[in-house]
């Protein structure tokens, strides 16, 4: 026969353990700390960059600020190069990734990803003297891209498949753009937003957009540690609310300068 006193004591211990486990959630930790640390890439205009006063600015920065405001905490932008986004999260230097992170299945093995909060079309960026006017023209050329990005992986795979031309990876978007402008490489593939912002800035007057790249739409997500289910669920609802409230459209027009294109956040019969 079981000891009733032992059963009661065991039940109390298990209940206490369950409660402790249930409350050990990153979302609670963020709210309790009063601060949300966002890993943001600041060499990827108009998503993330430094303004004339050297302050973080852009779509991703505003998204971080919006999330912090809703949580009732202070936002802290942790400047993070593309290759360092996941390490920054895993090491605890950031609470969430708000850095145009493609929702690849490979990344999802390491981090938890929200539903898409932005979608990019890929385009070719080159100099005005290369004779490149379309994606087909880049075959056999010296190409490069920013390490760790969706477009870099796709472009490098194409160069290997073609068996002609060269590919070089760069650590930052600025390094890639400079390499094209200075003639170290002939062309790169970047998002439509980066290309438009680069040409509009006039910083590299010899650069031009040479048509679309035939890559799938790059859907990007917010990121959290893979086991932080409460936080990931909250991020999903946050993205949904940003769209429903009209804030997503407001930020798109503000930073990209156009209305939302047909490449919206929905995937027919999947995200709706």
Q: Are residues 111 and 126 in the same domain?
A: no
Helix axes 247-256, 192-201, angle to 10 degrees: 40
Q: Are residues 227 and 208 in the same domain?
A: no
Q: Is the pTM of this model over 0.95?
A: no
173 within a domain of the structure (yes/no): yes
Helix axes 247-256, 59-71, angle to 10 degrees: 150
Q: Are residues 92 and 225 in the same domain?
A: yes
What's the CATH number where 151 sits? 3.40.190.10
Show the tokens assigned to 270.
Answer: 């999947």
Per-residue model confidence (pLDDT) at position 254: 93
- Boundaries of domain holding 92: 25-118+220-256
Per-residue model confidence (pLDDT) at position 263: 63
The total number of structural domains that make up the chain = 2
Per-residue model confidence (pLDDT) at position 140: 97
User: What CA–CA distance (Å, rounded) separates 258 from 15?
Assistant: 54
User: Residue 224's CB: how many other CB atoms inside 10 A?
Assistant: 25
Whether 258 and 137 have beta carbons less than 8 Å apart is answered as no
Q: Are residues 90 and 171 in the same domain?
A: no
**Cβ partners under 8 Å of residue 259, min gap 6:** 249, 252, 253
Q: Are residues 202 and 229 in the same domain?
A: no
User: Residue 27's CB: how many other CB atoms inside 10 A?
Assistant: 18
20 within a domain of the structure (yes/no): no
From 158, 183, 212, give the residue that closes a domain: 212
pLDDT tens, position by position, for the chain (272 residues)? 545 555 545 555 555 545 444 456 899 999 999 999 999 999 888 999 999 999 999 999 999 999 999 999 999 999 999 889 999 999 999 999 999 999 999 999 999 999 999 999 999 999 999 999 999 999 999 999 999 888 999 999 999 999 999 999 999 888 999 999 999 999 999 998 889 888 988 999 999 999 999 998 889 999 999 999 999 999 999 999 999 999 999 999 999 887 887 667 877 777 65
Q: Are residues 59 and 129 in the same domain?
A: no
Q: Are residues 167 and 107 in the same domain?
A: no
Q: Are residues 96 and 229 in the same domain?
A: yes
């Amino acid at each position: 026969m079981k000891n009733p006193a032992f059963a009661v004591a065991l039940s109390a211990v298990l209940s206490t353990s369950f409660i402790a486990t249930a409350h050990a959630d990153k979302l609670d930790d963020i709210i309790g700390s009063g601060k949300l640390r966002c890993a943001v890439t600041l060499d990827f205009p108009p998503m993330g960059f430094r303004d004339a006063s050297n302050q973080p600015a852009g779509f991703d920065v505003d998204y971080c600020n919006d999330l912090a405001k809703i949580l009732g905490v202070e936002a802290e932008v942790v400047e993070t190069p593309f290759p360092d986004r996941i390490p920054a999260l895993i090491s605890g230097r950031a609470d969430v990734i708000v850095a145009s992170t493609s929702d690849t299945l490979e990344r999802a093995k390491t981090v938890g990803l929200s539903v898409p909060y932005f979608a990019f079309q890929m385009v070719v960026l080159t100099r005005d003297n290369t004779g490149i006017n379309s994606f087909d023209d880049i075959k056999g050329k010296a190409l490069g891209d920013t390490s760790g990005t969706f477009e870099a992986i796709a472009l490098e795979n194409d160069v290997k498949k073609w068996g002609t031309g060269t590919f070089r990876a760069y650590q930052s978007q600025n390094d890639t753009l400079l390499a094209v402008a200075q003639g170290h490489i002939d062309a790169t593939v970047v998002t439509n937003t980066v290309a438009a912002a680069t040409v509009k800035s006039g910083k590299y007057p010899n650069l031009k957009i040479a048509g679309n790249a035939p890559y799938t739409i790059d859907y990007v997500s917010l990121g959290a540690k893979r086991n932080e289910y409460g936080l990931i669920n909250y991020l999903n609802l946050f993205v949904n609310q940003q769209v429903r409230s009209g804030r997503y459209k407001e930020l798109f027009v503000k930073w990209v300068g156009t209305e939302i294109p047909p490449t919206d956040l929905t995937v027919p019969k999947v995200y709706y």
